[in-house]
Amino acid sequence: MAPARRCKVREMQGMHLTSDLHGCPASLPVMTQPEALRALCLQAVADSGLRAVGELFHRFPAPGGVTGMVLLAESHLAVHTWPELGAVTLDVYVCNLGADNSTAAAAVLAELEAAFSAAHVHRQRLLRAVPDETTSA
């Protein structure tokens, strides 16, 4: 059996932020219009200093909402809206290879949360690829 190799996880550390929003007004254009959600997401990314390298936004048949994805040089942003439920899920993941993008990721999340005027917000933060003494490949 070959000896275990040490992973270089320290080099690929990232941060994954999620936010589940409830009580969002269904009448907001960003809940049902791909163009409005696209503009919001791209502006939040630009404001944070992260770099968009691709995007896709899709509207589901009424009463459904919009799913949008922005590919980032640093990783990704995903948004899913459910106007019929007044709900939104936000997902921002950034790699921290070469620079710590954690503050920028938090800024994107905060700008998006504010735009949806949610009555209730549940946030989670997950550090990815954090090395420990048992990490091996």
Q: What is the DSSP string of the chain?
A: -PPPPPP-GGGG-EEEEEEEEES--TTSHHHH-HHHHHHHHHHHHHHHT--EEEEEEEEPSTT--EEEEEEESSEEEEEEEETTTTEEEEEEEEE-SSS--HHHHHHHHHHHHHHHT-SEEEEEEEEES---TT---
Q: Is the pLDDT of residue 6 over 80?
A: no
Name the pTM for this structure.
Answer: 0.86
The pLDDT, as a whole number, for residue 10 is 56
Q: What are phi and psi of 45, to 5 degrees?
A: -65, -50
The pLDDT, as a whole number, for residue 128 is 84
What is the rounded CA–CA span in Å between residue 7 and residue 93? Answer: 21
Q: What are phi and psi of 134, to 5 degrees?
A: -100, 0
Confidence of residue 98 (pLDDT cuts 50, 70, 90): confident
* Domains of the chain in sequence order: 21-122 (3.60.90.10)
Q: Is the pLDDT of residue 91 over 70?
A: yes
Confidence of residue 116 (pLDDT cuts 50, 70, 90): very high
30, 36 in Cβ contact below 8 A?
yes
Conformational region of residue 53, where left means phi above 0, alpha means psi within -120 to 50, and beta covers everything else? alpha
The pLDDT, as a whole number, for residue 20 is 98
Catalytic residue numbers read 75, 80, 95
